[in-house]
């Protein structure tokens, strides 16, 4: 038998695993700086629980299974719904708002011909129980700070709102089937199908033109004014008030250079009600992640509460960092220790007690020790019993008493 991983899944080896830990540490520091606290949820949820909030968008994306009790379960396809479920149950009665964050694996079924990953890691936040432009702006600020903290030199955050498109669709009054088909075309970014539906005979031409123009508007603050003029022509200008107020807060925070207004952003899940946000890096071809406001989701669990958040793909962040030539700083090995076994054990224990990261080796002379230290990427090599650490450039460090871990050095 040849051992293989299932399609769409992969192993993560040492160097990449270290880089992932370093990036998540930087992300976690930003989350903590805004007062968000970590939670963990089960990898498996009741399918009907997810379906109650996600609706048709869950179909075809969730891994489904039946347990021994006959219950239909699903691996979580994203983290917003599990955290909404957690808030409606475990946080019920606790004073809001809740600032929740996570680093978690999620799972999505993909057709075999698409060649896409079926397991990936999301990092994100959910701000539950807070409404209005200030909470929208806070979510965008956290997102921008995270992307800067991980080391991305070039990125853009797009913001928009589904409120204006939903308001224009409601004005069209062309029926539920038409609305569903139009939103599906928008979610798929299929502008050909979208334009065809907007131009249908039973749609008022002015409303149809407004629909086609709205999803193509983008830019800075002037884009909000342009969209307001289009929406005002069909009586929907009020749907932009929250977004414009949030933009003013982002300007005040100095983020106008990072944030772009884009009314063509429509997330694939149906539960968004207002703010929509996506993050991009040049050359990636796909968003780093995104999110928005989903005020109706917790009502599906009997605990109505406004909510907004975002999720980023850890894998896509790593690809973007590599594309921009960013070296991710990871913790290296301070020293390898060789020599007689008893002395090696004692010396390694003393060094670890002083805060060194140490690997013990079977090498018993300096030549063998140098080779192992170089292969391990250790900064120093220690031949137990001599009381010194050596670096390849000839420096020595007296180890009696054992000092704090030294900076620098290259054992190769």
Q: Do 274 and 300 have their domain in common?
A: yes
**What is the predicted pLDDT for the residue at 412?**
45
Task: Single out the residue of 179, 34, 172 nearest to residue 100, CA to CA.
Answer: 34
Residue 175 sits in a domain whose CATH number is: 3.30.930.10
Residue 230 token pair: 């289009």
How many domains would you assign to the chain? 2
Instruction: Fill in the DSSP letter of residue 322.
Output: H
Q: Classify residue 168: in a domain, yes or no.
A: yes
The answer to whether 358 touches 336, Cβ cutoff 8 Å, is yes
Q: Classify residue 407: in a domain, yes or no.
A: no
Backbone angles phi, psi at 219, to 5 degrees: 145, -145
Q: Do 120 and 232 have their domain in common?
A: yes
Does residue 410 carry a pLDDT above 60? no
Residue 157 token pair: 């955050």
The tens digit of pLDDT for each residue in 23-33 reads: 999 999 999 99
The tens digit of pLDDT for each residue in 291-319 reads: 999 998 999 899 999 999 999 999 999 99
Better pLDDT: 285 or 24:
24
Task: Single out the residue of 268, 303, 273, 291 nearest to residue 49, CA to CA.
Answer: 303
Q: Classify residue 134: in a domain, yes or no.
A: yes
Structural domain boundaries, residue 347:
335-398
Q: Classify residue 408: in a domain, yes or no.
A: no
Q: Do 301 and 339 have their domain in common?
A: no
Average pLDDT, the chain: 90
The residue out of 267, 291, 323 marking a domain boundary is: 323
Q: Do 380 and 274 have their domain in common?
A: no
Q: How far is CA 83 from CA 101, 104, 308, in A?
A: 9, 11, 11
**What is the predicted pLDDT for the residue at 113?**
61
Q: Do 195 and 344 have their domain in common?
A: no
Per the listing, tokens 């040492």 go with: 14
What's the pLDDT band for 110 if we cut at 50, 70, 90? confident
* Cα 340 off chain centre by: 48
- Using only C-alpha atoms, what is the Rg of the chain? 27
Q: Do 318 and 350 have their domain in common?
A: no
Q: Do 243 and 341 have their domain in common?
A: no
Q: Do 319 and 339 have their domain in common?
A: no
Distance CA 376, CA 410 (A): 11
Q: Do 247 and 359 have their domain in common?
A: no
Q: Do 289 and 349 have their domain in common?
A: no
Q: Do 264 and 389 have their domain in common?
A: no
The separation between the first and the last C-alpha atoms of the chain, rounded to the nearest angstrom, is: 40
The residue out of 294, 323, 352 marking a domain boundary is: 323
Where would I find the beta strands (DSSP E) of 254-362?
259-262, 275-280, 289-293, 307-313, 335-338, 358-360
What's the pLDDT band for 124 if we cut at 50, 70, 90? very high
Q: Classify residue 354: in a domain, yes or no.
A: yes
The residue out of 323, 353, 374 marking a domain boundary is: 323
**What is the predicted pLDDT for the residue at 138?**
98
| CB neighbour list of residue 160: distance below 8 Å, 6 or more residues apart | 243, 261, 262, 263, 264, 265, 266, 275, 276, 277
Instruction: Give me the mean pLDDT over the 265-289 stretch.
Output: 86
**What is the predicted pLDDT for the residue at 261?**
94
Q: Do 198 and 339 have their domain in common?
A: no
* Cα 309 off chain centre by: 10
Give the predicted TM-score (pTM) of the model: 0.89
Portion of the chain with pLDDT greater than 70, in percent? 96
**Which stretch, 19-23, 57-61, 338-342, has highest mean pLDDT?**
19-23
Instruction: Give me the mean pLDDT over the 187-209 stretch.
Output: 85
Task: Single out the residue of 253, 281, 279, 277 nearest to residue 263, CA to CA.
Answer: 277
Q: Classify residue 243: in a domain, yes or no.
A: yes
Strands 335-338 and 358-360, sheet pairing = parallel
Ramachandran area for residue 235 (φ above 0: left; ψ -120 to 50: alpha; else beta): left
At residue 135, the 3 state secondary structure works out as: helix
Q: Classify residue 366: in a domain, yes or no.
A: yes
Better pLDDT: 150 or 274:
150
């Amino acid at each position: 038998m040849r051992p293989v991983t299932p399609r769409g899944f992969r192993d993560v080896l040492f160097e990449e695993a270290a880089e992932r830990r370093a990036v998540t540490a930087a992300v976690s520091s930003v989350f903590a700086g805004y007062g968000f606290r970590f939670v963990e949820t089960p990898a498996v949820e009741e399918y009907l629980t997810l379906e109650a909030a996600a609706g048709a968008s869950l179909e075809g994306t969730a891994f489904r299974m039946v347990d021994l009790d006959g219950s239909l379960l699903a691996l979580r396809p994203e983290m917003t719904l599990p955290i909404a479920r957690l808030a409606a149950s475990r946080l019920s009665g606790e004073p809001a708002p809740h600032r929740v964050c996570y680093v978690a694996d999620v799972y999505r079924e993909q057709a075999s011909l698409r060649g896409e990953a079926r397991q990936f890691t999301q990092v994100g936040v959910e701000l539950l129980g807070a409404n209005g432009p200030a909470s929208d702006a806070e979510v965008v600020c956290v997102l921008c700070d995270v992307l800067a903290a991980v080391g991305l030199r070039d990125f853009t955050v797009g913001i928009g709102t589904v409120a204006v498109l939903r308001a224009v669709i409601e004005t069209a009054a062309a029926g539920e089937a038409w609305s569903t088909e139009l939103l599906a075309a928008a979610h798929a970014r299929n502008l050909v199908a979208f334009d065809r539906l907007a131009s249908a005979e039973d749609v008022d031409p002015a409303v149809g033109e407004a629909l086609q123009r709205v999803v193509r508007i983008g830019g800075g603050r002037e884009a909000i004014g342009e969209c307001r003029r289009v929406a005002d022509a069909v009586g929907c200008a009020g749907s932009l008030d929250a977004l414009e107020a949030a933009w003013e807060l982002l300007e005040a925070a100095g983020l106008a250079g990072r944030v772009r207004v884009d009314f063509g952003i429509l997330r694939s899940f149906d539960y968004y009600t207002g703010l929509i946000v996506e993050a991009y890096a040049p050359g990636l071809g796909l968003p780093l992640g995104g999110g928005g406001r989903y005020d109706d989701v917790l009502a599906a669990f009997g605990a109505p509460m406004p909510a907004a958040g975002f999720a980023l793909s850890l894998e896509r962040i790593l690809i973007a960092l590599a594309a921009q030539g960013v070296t991710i700083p990871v913790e290296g090995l301070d020293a390898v220790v060789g020599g007689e076994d008893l002395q090696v054990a004692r010396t390694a224990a003393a060094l670890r007690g002083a805060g060194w990261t140490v690997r013990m080796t079977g090498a018993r002379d300096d030549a063998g020790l140098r080779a192992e230290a170089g292969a391990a990427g250790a900064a120093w090599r220690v031949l137990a019993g001599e009381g010194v650490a050596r670096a390849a450039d000839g420096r020595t460090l007296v180890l009696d008493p054992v000092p704090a871990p030294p900076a620098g050095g290259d054992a190769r």
